[in-house]
Amino acid sequence: MRLHDKVALVIGAGSGIGRAIAVRFAREGARVVAADLVPAAGTRTAQLAREAGGECVFQPVDVTRRDQLRELLQGTEAQFGRLDVLVNSAGREGGAGRGFRIEELPEDLWDEVVAVYLSGVYWACKYAVPVFLHQGGGVILNLGSVAGLRPLANSIIYSTVKGGVVMLSRSLAAAYARENIRVWAICPTAVDTPVLERLFAQSEDPAAARREYEANEAMGRAITTDEVASLAVYLASDERFAYAPEPFVV
């Protein structure tokens, strides 16, 4: 129960990393708001969290709409009286153009990916910080990627937006450390999510594509969503560690 009675808002909780974090947070005692664009997916996450013995409600949100993000943050604070943890884990159903050279990418993909993966994170942080300042602190966990720390070939848009998330997190951490607001960018390598499955499914032999992909990973496999969720629990908890205004990298 390391998050006992904390209020956590997980944006992008409908699947993958966001779902794993929402369920683990609820199991650790947090009161969780699972926000997602897809009602069926977000409702399922809330159900799984409750089945795990936690407290979780679903709220719909489109992260490309700053008015909806503002209402979500304000509504969460109004409903629970506070907000302790914000998790930004929203993704895009069509992915972020990984595996393609820049000349192969549709022109409108840039705007769509930036709106979800970077602008959505920025606006959620913007509306969360005043809440944290008012109550004396809080935690922001932004889902970055190793692609935001070093370039990945043929993942130009994805690397660019994730690099933006990393720098946004670093900037916020440096700006608000003295106000007891901790900001982290969790930057995992390949995570075994539905997005990764869809990537493999595009090849003629998905199983062989997975083996080839995972052979290049440090552990010889993709990491699990539960492993990312374990880190998120630690960073969101009150367990103390030496603070530095840098993102935490997995």
Q: Catalytic residue positions?
A: 158
Q: How far apart are CA 167 and CA 99, in angstroms?
A: 23
Residue with tokens 């199983």: 207
- DSSP 8-state class, residue 100: B
Start-to-end CA distance of the chain, whole Å, equals 23
- Which residues, listed in sequence order, are joined to residue 87 by a DSSP beta bridge? 10, 141
Beta carbons of 2 and 29 less than 8 angstroms apart: yes
CA torsion, ordered 174, 175, 181, 185, to nearest 10 deg: -50
Please tell me what DSSP assigns to residue 248.
-
Tell me the C-alpha distance between 188 and 154, whole Å.
18
Reading across the β-sheet that carries 55-60, which strands appear in turn?
55-60, 31-36, 7-11, 85-88, 138-143, 181-186
- CA torsion through residues 53, 197, 144, 158, sign: negative
In order, the DSSP letters of 161-191 are: HHHHHHHHHHHHHHHHGGGTEEEEEE--S-B
